[in-house]
């Protein structure tokens, strides 16, 4: 096992009816900015519930954080925080609202150009406005981590930053809040959580038995509940297991002490920035092809994955690996996800532009061995058409 430093200060308040605990969780004298996305938090009643739990506190609202949250929108929230001398943020939504809130929390504490936060990947963040979240879409793990992904529309750039100053103080995980998710978002969430786990698990063995078994527990749970969730989005136990799996998939726990990949995500971000696919739509296309192209360097873990997740125990090594990759693709397709770029009308002529973007964002040595250079990324993209 590799050395590690695991730190996660986010309080998780889990269960039905837990939004009412906001009154205990938010300081009594806080001046609060509530941040939401489009209209889902309003439509499903979560916004009203939160406002009523905040009671007599001074509260302002910022609405309109879009999926793949934009810098151009978020700087308006930063100005609102500064103008109103607001000192606590409350995000209600999915990964986009929470990621956006992380950016606002950091940017509101500094005077220089806020885009620098992304260009320095968060290393210059020294403080942030404290904030909590109410999660309405299990997927990204943003509710329990220190990462954020922000898009600058005018540059078609989707970049990430992380800083220990932007962990949420608390996150309320009420599984009934995701009852209203459409099938597309449920499927996205399952694929995102699955891929987060794979990015940290399916690399090379370092003898991290606990991390491996945790990761396999998450993958098997997602395989078991994913299709059922699409049929029964109002099943509490399914939603509860989904929500907690997604948080655990990217809260640092399974990634501690093991090598990590993330090449699928980095290529996926460029596809979203240029073509507007949902985050998880890019993952469902790229992941199976990434595994296929890099099967030699991932051989041992691919065989372990084949056996423990898909019960594939017979055949040559090559056949078992092939079958595991096929099972992965079929699992995504069983959730209604497309697994080819051409199904989104993106053809081979898109590859050059995507490779240019990877290069300009310095994404030239990706993966657990830093050997995913532009040539490997090109191969993965060619296989993904
Ligand atoms: O905007 P509203 O009206 O709220 O609708 C949203 C949005 O249209 C809707 N939605 C959310 N909760 C709902 C609901 N609709 C009905 N009922 C509910 N309960 O779902 C749509 C998508 O929401 P979004 O927040 O964009 O989805 P997701 O949670 O998948 O977040 C995706 C973003 O997170 C980033 C992605 O790149 C992308 O920008 N990621 C963040 C990570 C992190 N911070 O650690 C890691 C991930 O790998 C990922 O990159
Ligand atoms: Zn993701």
- In 3-state terms, what secondary structure has residue 288? helix
Q: Tell me what the mean pLDDT of segment 96-103 comes to.
A: 98
Domains annotated for the chain, with CATH where assigned, are 11-178 (3.40.50.1970), 183-384 (1.20.1090.10)
358-369 pLDDT, tens digit each: 999 999 999 999
Q: Which two tokens stand for residue 161?
A: 């930053």
Residues with CB under 6 A from ligand 1: 37-41, 44, 67-68, 93-97, 99, 136-137, 139-142, 145, 147-149, 177-178, 180-181, 185, 188, 192, 250, 265, 279
114-129 pLDDT, tens digit each: 999 999 999 999 999 9
H helix runs in the chain, sequence order:
22-25, 40-43, 46-54, 71-83, 95-107, 116-119, 183-201, 209-231, 236-249, 263-275, 279-293, 299-310, 317-334, 351-360, 374-384
pTM for the whole thing? 0.98
CA of 56 to the centre of ligand 1 (A): 30
Q: Name the residue of 93, 180, 278, 283 whose CB sits within 8 Å of the most ligand 1 atoms, as the mutation to test its pocket.
A: 93
Q: Indicate if the pLDDT at residue 216 is higher than 90.
A: yes
Q: How long a stretch of residues is the chain? A: 385
Q: Quote the CA–CA distance of 123 and 39 in Å, as a whole number.
A: 33
Q: Indicate if the pLDDT at residue 112 is higher than 90.
A: no
Q: Tell me what the mean pLDDT of segment 24-35 comes to.
A: 98
Q: Quote the CA–CA distance of 162 and 169 in Å, as a whole number.
A: 15
Residue whose CA is at the smallest distance from ligand 1 atom 2:
38
Query: What share of the chain has pLDDT > 70, as a percent?
Result: 100
43-86 pLDDT, tens digit each: 999 999 999 999 999 999 999 999 999 999 999 999 999 999 99
Residue pair 204/297 in contact (Cβ under 8 Å)? The answer is yes
- Closest atom of ligand 1 to 272 CA is 37
CA of 220 to the centre of ligand 2 (A): 18
Q: Which two tokens stand for residue 234?
A: 């109002």
2-28 pLDDT, tens digit each: 999 999 999 999 999 999 999 999 999
pLDDT averaged over the chain? 98
What's the pLDDT score for residue 69?
Answer: 97
Q: Which two tokens stand for residue 251?
A: 């809260």
Q: Name the residue of 279, 281, 335, 361 whose CB sits within 8 Å of the most ligand 1 atoms, as the mutation to test its pocket.
A: 279
């Amino acid at each position: 096992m590799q050395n590690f430093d695991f730190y996660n200060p986010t309080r998780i308040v889990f269960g039905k009816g837990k939004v009412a605990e906001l009154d205990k969780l938010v300081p009594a004298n806080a001046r609060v900015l509530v941040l939401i996305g489009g209209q889902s938090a309003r439509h499903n009643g979560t916004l009203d519930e939160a406002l009523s739990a905040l009671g007599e506190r001074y509260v302002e609202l910022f609405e309109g954080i879009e999926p793949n949250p934009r810098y151009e929108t978020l700087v308006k929230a930063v100005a609102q925080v500064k103008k109103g001398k607001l000192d606590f943020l409350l995000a209600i939504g999915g990964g986009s609202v929470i990621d956006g809130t992380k950016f606002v929390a950091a940017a509101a504490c500094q005077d220089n150009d806020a885009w620098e936060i992304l260009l320095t990947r968060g290393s210059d963040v020294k403080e942030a406005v404290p904030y909590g979240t109410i999660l309405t879409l299990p997927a990204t793990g943003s509710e329990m981590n220190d990462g954020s992904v922000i898009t600058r529309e005018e540059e078609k750039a989707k970049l990430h930053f992380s800083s220990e100053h932007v962990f949420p103080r608390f996150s309320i995980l009420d599984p009934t809040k995701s009852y209203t998710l459409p099938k597309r978002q449920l499927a996205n969430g399952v694929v995102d959580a699955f891929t987060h786990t794979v990015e940290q698990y399916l690399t090379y063995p370092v003898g991290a038995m606990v991390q491996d078994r945790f990761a396999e527990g998450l993958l098997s749970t997602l395989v078991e509940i994913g299709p059922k969730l699409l049929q029964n989005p109002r099943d509490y136990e399914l939603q509860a297991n989904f929500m907690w799996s997604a948080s655990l998939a990217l809260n640092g726990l399974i990634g501690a002490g093991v090598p990590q990949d993330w090449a699928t995500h980095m290529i996926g971000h460029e596809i979203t920035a240029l073509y507007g696919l949902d985050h998880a739509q890019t993952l469902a296309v790229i992941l199976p092809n990434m595994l296929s192209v890099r099967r030699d360097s991932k051989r041992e873990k691919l065989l372990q994955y084949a056996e423990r997740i898909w019960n594939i125990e017979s055949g040559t090594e090559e056949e078992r690996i092939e079958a595991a990759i096929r099972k992965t693709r079929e699992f995504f397709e069983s959730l209604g996800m497309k697994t080819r770029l051409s199904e989104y009308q993106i053809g081979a002529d898109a590859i050059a532009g995507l490779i240019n973007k990877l290069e300009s964002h310095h994404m030239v040595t990706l993966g657990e061995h830093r050997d995913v250079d532009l040539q490997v990324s090109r191969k993965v993209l060619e296989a993904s058409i």
